[in-house]
Structure 1
Amino acid sequence: MVHVFGPANAPGTSALQLPDVVMELGQRFVDAGHELSLVGGPVRDLFLGRVSPDLDFTSDADPDAIIAVIRKWADSFWEIGRDFGTIGMRKGDYTIEVTTYRADAYDADSRKPQVAFGTSLEDDLFRRDFTMNAMALRLPSLELVDPYGGVRDLHAGMVRTPGEPSASFSDDPLRMLRAARFASQLKVSVAPEVAGAMTDMAERIEIISAERVRDELVKLVNGKDPRAGIDLLVETGLAAHVLPEVAALKLEIDEHHRHKDVYQHSLTVLEQACELETDDDGAVPGPDFVLRFAALMHDVGKPATRRFEPSGAVSFRHHDAVGAKLTAKRMKKLRFDNDTIKAVSRLVELHMRFYGYGEAGWTDSAVRRYVTDAGPLLERLHRLTRSDVTTRNRRKAERLAFAYDDLEQRIAALKEQEQLDSVRPDLDGQRIMSLLGIKPGPVVGRAYKFLLDERMENGPQEPEVAEKKLLEWWSRQPESATLPEES
């Protein structure tokens, strides 16, 4: 590890650390007659006191020259990004990319650049997204190149672009989402001119692929301050294009204040869910996208279900079920995988289930169903439900917390007695078919469901008891009179 002690033009820095491979690679390029600089995120991260395992470099060398320099040095290399001037490689534990200086031009209707190689490091830095990412360390001299004030903006906690924000976002509209992502990840603010350009150009995000939008959203939601990132998307109008269901919460205004601000409530639930992630017991280690996104989306069904009652009260009946469908639909459009879609939408669907317990208490049967319906999402559901309490009425908050403490204690006691994580009927499918003399088909499914309901209602039973109940159920089914008896 190489220590870099405060470059003269880098105010406020102390000892910065660079992996040895950085200096080795820089020396190889210089010995071959080329320039090499560490650039972008890795340089920014040095000023934040961290070292990234992914190292990005830029050089005046073209792809052929890059390969000639690193062929015998790298453990392996690949040319997938060759058309864009990028050669990737592995050296020890590090993933490295070296890219030829770029001077790209963009089509107004596409974010795909017309690739053109450049000859100047400063020009290459100018085409980058933000000033904090437009810094470089020349190697092996370790001279800091910061022509656009990246260190200044990083210390000020401000996101700015090297040139005009409108030109930068026109070139690559995804940069608008990155600005919101940095607000979340780095807990920085966006300069007024950047926020203004994001607002004016929000609709240009439509030309970006759903997959790339999804990836930025995941990073934003998993950041240190996701509330700030989401709020920026909503305030600039970007959310209307990428998360319109959340933007709609902002528009859900009740001028008579008959219900709470659903938008601010949702952001608070998101914050509280983040605080309940637990690394110590490993139950829901953070950042957990499924829990966080469910917290953000849990009330998106409210605008469609809001009703003003004759009494003057407002209701949102079935907003949990409607919200689950809206969440799944949005996530499909963003090209999330099926498992993540099912997990998030299921949590949205279940987030109101607990309130029946708080109001009237539950039988053991209801507790079993709660656990079974949540399945592997139970720990996340615990945290989502607790996060959903944002009332300023301390007595009400304490009452709900006490009720949920009681529910968790009952779940723990029943789990110890009955292995609730794998609740099954007391008879399996083979025994059902043998006892009733039937073949595989819908009738077996109905019998299985009957026994599962019995198990939920009464807990585990002896096989003889379950068989007797099954035969009694069977005697009431129309098929029992038409199917031949088992010989």
Structure 2
Amino acid sequence: MIFQIRKDERKIFEVIGRAAEDLNFPTYVVGGYVRDRLLARPSKDLDIVCVGSGIDLARRVGDCLHPRSRVTVYKRFGTAALKHRDLEIEFVGARKESYRSDSRKPTVESGTLADDQNRRDFTINALAISLNKHDYGTIIDPFNGLEDLEAKRIVTPLEPGKTFSDDPLRMMRAIRFATQLGFTIDPATFRSISENKERIKIISWERIATELNKIMLASRPSIGLRLLDKSGLLDYVLPELAALRGVESRNGRKHKDNFIHTTKVVDNLAERSDDLWLRWAALLHDIGKAKTKRWEAEAGWTFHAHDAVGERMVPKVFRRLRLPNDKLKYVQKLVALHQRPISLTQEEISDSAVRRILFDAGDDIDDLMTLCQSDITSKNPHKVKRYLENYEGLRQRMSEIEEKDHLRNWQPPITGELIMETFGIPPSREVGLIKDGVREAILDGAIPNEYSAAYERMLVVAADLDLSPQKS
């Protein structure tokens, strides 16, 4: 089969082909670029394999391009890269690999194109396009990857047990590709993932997190989350989520499967937002339920304070997966607050309650409301409609109070420095009590959100603490 080379590809393919011919290096486009082009998906990463030195080929190509492209060399890995227009092009010499059982880092030696295709993770990633004069544009497909593309199937090129034992990260990648592409995983391949799941322990948390993030950014993350659960990998990579699975029944009363519920919430959120960290908040919003589940004779199954417990669990997840610290507080905040708007739609809403959620959520209030709307997973359309209408009513109320009181990311007009200066006291418990008293008065609506009223309330609170202003 001949690959249909587009006009925008022709020039760079021909430049690479001529440079390879000059060096007498048989050269091929391989892997993800080929797969994505055949699937009509956008791709900006072009991987070139040559039977020879990838570094030498990259330098020759860089010299041939106009304007000349700067080549970045990674001697340790025997690779080189250059940027051409909107393409990131990586060059590597064909190689074969062998692995030790306690490491995913292979012993590498030079090899043929066939050796290089043998080491690929899946048949759809082992496809190659020849850039050589005698068979230019021919698709080289030793493992029937074209058939698997057509069938939307993830299959390993070699025996799956060896593929996954050699590099256990491929188990995560299989699930990630199935999620991103909407493919199914071949039964024997999936069975091997389950059989080799413990091997994931030798993979660094950073690499696991990278695959999780790609699953989370898919249009339907639930596909990957449920495959992780079904394969047994979830117990190793996100045990807090795995602990939510299952339904328990007592006296004819049962609770919902909180794992399945969570996957639905993440999908709902994915329909509303592409924000990775808002999706992580959806993923972790109920992780406190496993620890707070209780049976109460009158109420049935309860999960009291699961939001607070979940808030305390989030840092452990972030530390283990090496997720960025600058996103931790954001996710924690949304997990901690996700029950608050729900309660505000189930009772007569006071201005004070609305002021407090605006103050606590700050600039993240819109994301919090998006999370709460995504948390509606009822199959009853009338319930869903009612809940969404209630949230829209709450949003409108928030907008009105925000416009009037300007509470988003608000700081009280009385500072700790002013309190210490006014009463001649050092940093102390009293300073905090006075600040709290002023803040609570504003949030309760007892005084307006302005300096003069706040100053007067400061004097009143201080008097209750037997503090008097210093005489000037």
TM superposition shift of 1:462: 4.3
- Look up the match of 1:42: 33
- Look up the match of 2:405: 418
Q: SS at the partner of 2:96?
A: coil
- Look up the match of 1:72: 63
Structure 1 segment 135-284 matched on structure 2, within 5 A: 135-140=127-132, 141-254=136-249, 256-277=252-273
- Look up the match of 1:280: none
- Where structure 1 has 5 or more consecutive residues not aligned to the other structure, the ranges are 1-6, 278-285
Percent of pairs with identical residues = 36
The separation in 1 between residues aligned to 2:187 and 2:312, in whole angstroms, is 36
- Look up the match of 2:84: 91
TM superposition shift of 1:265: 1.2
Q: Which moved more, 1:53-62 or 1:412-421?
A: 412-421
Letter in 1 for 2:310: G
- Look up the match of 1:376: 363
The separation in 2 between residues aligned to 1:417 and 1:423, in whole angstroms, is 13
Letter in 1 for 2:22: D
Q: Which moved more, 1:230-239 or 1:56-65?
A: 56-65
The separation in 2 between residues aligned to 1:83 and 1:127, in whole angstroms, is 19
Answer yes or no: is the 8 Å Cα contact 2:359–2:407 preserved in 1: yes
- The change in CA–CA distance for 1:408 and 1:312 in structure 2 (over 3 A counts) is closer
TM superposition shift of 1:312: 6.4
Deviations 1:394-430 (A, max 9, x none): 4433332222111100111122222222322133444
The answer on 1:130 being equivalent to 2:125 is no
Letter in 2 for 1:270: V
The separation in 2 between residues aligned to 1:163 and 1:60, in whole angstroms, is 22
Letter in 2 for 1:345: Q
The answer on 1:354 being equivalent to 2:341 is yes
The separation in 2 between residues aligned to 1:486 and 1:439, in whole angstroms, is 17
Deviations 1:375-397 (A, max 9, x none): 23222211110111112334433
The separation in 2 between residues aligned to 1:464 and 1:126, in whole angstroms, is 76
Answer yes or no: is the 8 Å Cα contact 2:278–2:371 preserved in 1: yes
- Look up the match of 2:465: 477
TM superposition shift of 1:87: 1.4
The separation in 1 between residues aligned to 2:219 and 2:148, in whole angstroms, is 19
Answer yes or no: is the 8 Å Cα contact 1:187–1:224 preserved in 2: no
TM superposition shift of 1:443: 3.6
Q: Which moved more, 1:458-467 or 1:156-165?
A: 458-467
Answer yes or no: is the 8 Å Cα contact 2:363–2:409 preserved in 1: no
| TM-score computed with the length of structure 2 as normaliser | 0.92
The answer on 1:313 being equivalent to 2:300 is yes
- Where structure 2 has 5 or more consecutive residues not aligned to the other structure, the ranges are none
The answer on 1:289 being equivalent to 2:276 is yes
Answer yes or no: is the 8 Å Cα contact 1:186–1:224 preserved in 2: no
The separation in 2 between residues aligned to 1:471 and 1:312, in whole angstroms, is 46
TM superposition shift of 1:63: 4.5
- The change in CA–CA distance for 1:66 and 1:425 in structure 2 (over 3 A counts) is same
Q: Which moved more, 1:455-464 or 1:41-50?
A: 455-464
| TM-score computed with the length of structure 1 as normaliser | 0.90
1:387 corresponds to which of 374, 377, 390 = 374
The separation in 2 between residues aligned to 1:48 and 1:67, in whole angstroms, is 27
Answer yes or no: is the 8 Å Cα contact 1:126–1:163 preserved in 2: yes
Q: Which moved more, 1:294-303 or 1:255-264?
A: 255-264
Answer yes or no: is the 8 Å Cα contact 2:79–2:91 preserved in 1: yes
Q: Which moved more, 1:403-412 or 1:375-384?
A: 375-384
